[in-house]
Amino acid sequence: MVKKIGLVGFLFVACLGQLMAQEKTNNPSFRTLIPFEEIFKLAAKEKKPILFEAYLPTCSHCIAYDKTLRDPRLKTYLQTNYLAYQLDLSKKENNLFLRNSHIFIPSTPSFIVFSPTGKIMDIEPLGDESNSAVGIQQILNRAKNPLACSAFLLQKYQQGEKTMDVMLSAGYFSRLIMDTTHTIDIVNEIVRQIPKEQYQEDRSFLIMQKIMLDDENPLFQHFISNLGAYKTKFDSLNVLQTAENVLMSSLYCSRARAYSPERMESIKNGLRKLGLPEAQITLRTIVLEVLIDLDHRDVRKATSKILGFYAGKAIPDREKEFWCKQLTRGLPKDQACPLP
C-alpha cells in the first residue's frame, strides 16, 4: 500500500512538473519581432495595421490561445490583414515599449492594434469566450476598422455622443491608453445616467471593476459604504479587490498631490473598511502625505510625519537619503536635513 501511494505521488509530481514546464513558444502565424521603429516603418510602407499579441510564456490562457492562433486559417488571415507580432511581457524591453506607448495591459493575452500610421486603434484583453478562429477574426476585423475600433468610439464620445454603449467602450479604451482625465470624465457621465437603484446591479459592479479610477465618484461612494450588500451578491474577494484597486488608483494618480487632508482621510477610511491594518495603510500613504506637506512648504509637519512613521527606530540609510532629498528641496544648499 505504501509503495502504491509512493508511486502515485511520484506520478503526480512528474505530471505537475510537465504542466508547469509548458509554456508558449514561437508561433508560425506571427512574424519574428524586429525593432519597433522598423515595424512602424514597414507598416507605413505596406499600409497595413500592426497587431501585437501581448502574452506571458507560462500564462495558461495565453497557451490556450496559442493553440488556436496556430490554425492555418488564422495564419492566412494574419498574413493578409496585419503585420502580426508577439510581445513577451516577461521581457523588460517589451514592457518599456508599452509604457512609452501609454498602454496598460490588465491581463494576458491581449491584442494591441496600431494603424498603418502608428496610432493606437484598439486594445482587447482576451477572454475564453472568444478563443476560436471565428471569435479572433471578429475581434481583429473590428479592431482594424477605422469606423468600429475603440479609438473611433472614444472620438465619438469626445464629439458629443453619450449613449451608454459608446461611453462604456470609450471609457474602457481610455483606461487602457492610460488617459486618466478622460476616463474619469467618461465614468462620471456614465454614472449620471445610472439610477441609484441600479448601483448594485451587475453592470454597475463591472464598471467599477473595469474603469472606475475615482474614489469620489457617487457610484464608488455607494459601493464603499455598502460593501456587505455587494459581498452578498458578488464574490467577496472580487468586491474587496475592486475597492482596493479604486482607492489605490486614486492614491497614486498624478492629481493626488492636490488632495485635501479630508480626502486623504476618506481614502484611509476606505482602506480600513477593507480590513487593512493601520501600519499597512500608513505605508501606502506616507510618501504622498509628506509630499503634500512639502508642496505647502511645511517642512516641520513633513518631518514630524516621517519621524512618526519610524516610531523612534533608526531610519535605514537609503530611506533616510530619500527623505532628506525631499525635505531639503527648495531649501538653501547649506541647510542640513532635519532628520536625526
**Domain segments of the chain as ranges:** 20-148, 195-276, 288-340
Tens digit of pLDDT for each residue in 149-183?
Answer: 999 999 999 999 999 999 999 999 999 999 999 99
User: What does the DSSP assignment read for 267-329?
Assistant: HHHHHHHTT--HHHHHHHHHHHHHHHHHHTT-HHHHHHHHHHHHTTSPPPHHHHHHHHHHHHT
Task: Quote the percentage of the chain above a pLDDT of 70.
Answer: 93
Q: Is 139 exposed, middle or buried (0-12, 13-18, 19+ CB in 10 A)?
A: middle
More confident residue, 3 or 138: 138
Q: Is 134 exposed, middle or buried (0-12, 13-18, 19+ CB in 10 A)?
A: exposed
Q: Domain 20-148, what fold? A: Glutaredoxin (3.40.30)
Please give the average per-residue pLDDT across 133-147, as a whole number.
98
Is 0.75 surpassed by the pTM of this model?
Answer: yes
pLDDT of residue 254: 87
Question: Which strands sit side by side in the sheet containing 110-114, from one edge to the other?
Answer: 83-88, 50-55, 110-114, 120-125
Tens digit of pLDDT for each residue in 49-98?
Answer: 999 999 999 999 999 999 999 999 999 999 999 999 999 999 999 999 99
Tens digit of pLDDT for each residue in 251-297?
Answer: 999 899 999 999 999 999 999 999 999 999 999 999 999 999 999 99
Mean per-residue pLDDT over the chain, rounded: 92
pLDDT of residue 270: 98
Beta bridge partners of 253: none
Tens digit of pLDDT for each residue in 30-44?
Answer: 999 999 999 999 999
pLDDT of residue 333: 82
pLDDT of residue 190: 98
CA 67 to the chain's CA centroid: 26
Q: Count CB atoms within 10 A of the CB of residue 154.
A: 22
Please give the average per-residue pLDDT across 236-251, as a whole number.
97
Q: State yes or no: pLDDT of 24 exceeds 90.
A: no
pLDDT of residue 13: 43
The sign one gets for the Cα dihedral 68, 72, 73, 75 is positive
Question: What is the spatial distance between Cα 283 and Cα 40, in angstroms, rounded to a whole number?
Answer: 42
Residue for grid cell 509628506 = 290
